[in-house]
Copies of this chain bind each other. A is one copy, B any other.
Amino acid sequence: MRDSKIIDVARKADVSPATVSRVLNGSPLVTGKTKEKVLQAIQELNYTPNAMGKQLRSRKTMTLGVVVTDIGVAYNAEIIKGIENTANGLKYKILICDSQNEREKELEFLSLLQNRTVDGLILVTPQLTDSEIFSFADEDYSIGIIGRQINHPFIPCCFTDNIRIGREVVQHLMEQGHCRIAYISGYADAPDSIGRQEGYREELESAGLTFIPELMDIGDFDEQGGYEAFKRLRAKNQEFTAVFTANDEMALGVYKACAELKISVPESMAVVGVDNIRITNYVEPKISSVEQPLYAMGALLAEKLIDQMNGSVRAEQQLFMLHSTIMAKGSSVKGG
């Protein structure tokens, strides 16, 4: 059965489509007997307004696109939840793109903004360059970014204070008595790597300790990378009693290396990661980690972006920097 259209309802209720539309949209113009008739007809025909007709006329899809590199990673899933929940509350739906790190796919998805399949787009992708993103930004295309700061007149960004993360981790480790602390970054050019390293250095120096470049290595954000980086660090013959890894995956790699090298955590080596992924609580000892307000980041940016989309005036760029929390556990607290 073809579903019924507004004209069918109109005929059945013996009114015009305009009147039906008014009833549907709660206009105060239609009341009493007429309204009754229309409601009756709607009910009898089990009529539901067609979304496409509505969207075409209103020039709105009430849909937000979200691009992530991998939906299976807890980091992204949590952000998506924040976005989705907030968006749903504001009557928006979520179109997802799991790019699997293919920039092709990400760029293609961006074009959904241009053809108006989505009203706005949120990017959670470290890989696109600023200029690639700028090329899609337009007075009239709403883009928002999470996990990264970008300088553009009207692209809102929500990210964490990476410098502060670095400082707090180092501070925490110093409180535990460490003064030779290594740092394993992710990709060298990732803002997260750089910011956390910056904080690491700042805190060391402001504590009067010397910053030793040899105590830093690169682990590409994954377990294997962390494992290898740790081994390289050890090979340098520079003493250190603690490692700060820019994420938990690399901390897991450090654990693996320590197990192989018979280095006990935390007695001989303290470890602190970032993201506080679930596994940190299931390994022995539990991995101390910095928890980022991911859900809140998603929720906040979704709200601001939708605001901006519906606001008549486009405000100046909005930057939202949120703070993280260090969760001290067994890997950095002796007897903890």
Number of interface residues of A (CB under 8 A): 47
Residues of B contacting A94 in the complex (Cβ-Cβ under 8 angstroms)? 95-97
Partner of A72, one of B78, B93, B279, B283: B78
Knowing that A52-B59, A84-B96, A279-B279 touch, tell me 9 more A-B residue pairs with CB under 8 angstroms: A50-B116, A51-B116, A52-B55, A53-B56, A72-B81, A84-B98, A93-B95, A94-B95, A282-B283
Chain A window 248-274, contacts with chain B (Cβ cutoff 8 Å), 1 for yes, 0 for no: 000010000000000000000000000
When distances are taken between beta carbons in the complex, the residues of chain B under 8 Å from A116 are 50-52
Interchain CB contact (< 8 A) of A52 among B61, B85, B105: B61
Instruction: Give complex CA distance A45, B8 in Å.
Output: 40
Contact with B along A300-322 (1 / 0, CB 8 A): 00000000000000000000000
Copies of this chain present in the complex amount to: 2
Binding site for B on A (CB under 8 A): 1-3, 48-53, 55-56, 59, 61, 63, 71-72, 74, 77-78, 80-81, 84-85, 88, 93-98, 100, 105, 111-112, 114-117, 138-140, 252, 278-279, 282-284
In the complex, 25 of the A-B residue pairs with CB atoms within 8 angstroms, ordered by the A residue number, are A1-B138, A3-B140, A48-B115, A49-B115, A50-B115, A50-B116, A51-B116, A52-B52, A53-B56, A55-B56, A63-B95, A71-B81, A71-B84, A84-B96, A85-B100, A93-B95, A93-B117, A94-B96, A95-B95, A252-B282, A278-B279, A279-B279, A279-B282, A282-B282, A284-B284
Q: Please indicate which of the listed interface residues A1, A55, A284 has the most CB atoms of chain B within 10 Å of its own CB.
A: A55
- A189 to chain B minimum Cβ distance, whole angstroms, is 27
Q: Are the C-beta atoms of B84 and A80 separated by less than 8 Å?
A: no
Residues of B within 8 A of A3 (CB): 114, 140
